[in-house]
Amino acid sequence: MIGKLFLVGLGPGDPGMQTPQATAALSVATDLVGYGPYVDRVPPRPGLVRHVSDNREEISRARHALELAASGRRVTVVSSGDTGVFAMASAVFEAIEHGDTAWRGIDVEVIPGISAMFAVAARVGAPLGHDFCALSLSDNLKPWEVVTRRLRAVADAGFVIALYNPISRARPWQLGAAFALLRDILPPATPVVFATAVSRSDEAVTVVSLADADPARADMRTLVLIGSAATRRIERASAPPWLYTPRSVDAA
């Protein structure tokens, strides 16, 4: 008997930012699979078995979820934000490609969520109004040289940049190195947003210039959003500035 596998993005933290489709998938699941802090965001209920695993165990977590679904269970794998953005959807499909051929017969449904970059952008205006990209600063799954090559390329091309995984206890130096690289390319006044725990009770959002961007403002829960040279800043007397990136680009 083949079951069902839902890949669900829970959104950035506020339950109001969780989509009805995600809530529906959670309501019918027999098994909940995910990284501990994300599983903890789902209220317990009778009949729901919780399978918690640690960080950096994505592939083994995906295989476990697939084994449960192949046995006939209705399984929901949860990620923060959107499941397809630096999260579990890719790990599950990688496990399917390289795993038991029977897994290809599982009914897999990918349910999107609000990614952190969209929640952060909404807090400060419309910085993603023109071309933008998302990069992970983690070098756990790719060499640091690849990170810096991509960062330099998108900054040169004029993209607004959302930096995921900017810093951690095991990787305390990469964000500072990224700022140093960007200061050689972008104007000193380029706006930088530090958004920690966006949409949660301890949310903190700060807008500074690239010249004043201090890596110490970030922690593991922070998304860093870096404007392009075209991103505009609208000052307000009693509130943080609004940011927006114009939708048009003048011909060179």
Render pLDDT for 50-97 as a digit per residue (tens, 0 to 9).
Answer: 999 987 889 999 999 999 999 999 999 999 999 999 999 999 999 999
Cα dihedral sign, 175-179-182-184? negative
What is the pLDDT, as a whole number, of residue 251? 63
Of 105, 101, 135, 106, which is closest to residue 7 (Cα–Cα)? 106
Burial class (CB in 10 A: 0-12, 13-18, 19+), 51: middle
Return the bridge partners of 32, or none: 50, 76
d(CA 55, CA 48): 22
What is the pLDDT, as a whole number, of residue 252? 57
Average pLDDT over residues 8-17: 96
Classify each residue of 195-215 as buried b or exposed e, where b means 16 or more C-beta atoms within 10 Å of its C-beta.
bbbbbeeebebebeebeebeb
* pLDDT per position as a tens digit, 193-220: 999 999 999 999 999 999 999 999 999 8
- Token pair in block for residue 92: 């599950």
What is the pLDDT, as a whole number, of residue 147? 96
* pLDDT per position as a tens digit, 124-151: 999 999 999 999 999 988 999 999 999 9
Of 181, 203, 182, 177, which is closest to residue 192 (Cα–Cα)? 182
Ranges of each domain in the chain? 4-114, 117-244
d(CA 119, CA 214): 22
SS3 62: helix
Q: Is the pLDDT reported for residue 171 higher than 90? A: no
Report the relative pairing of strands 204-209 and 31-35 from DSSP bridges. unpaired
SS3 200: coil
CATH superfamily of 117-244: Tetrapyrrole methylase, C-terminal domain (3.30.950.10)
Distance of CA 163 to the CA centre of its chain: 9
Q: Select 4-114's CATH number: 3.40.1010.10, 3.60.15.10, 3.30.70.20, 3.40.50.300.
A: 3.40.1010.10
Tell whether pTM > 0.85: yes
What is the pLDDT, as a whole number, of residue 54? 85
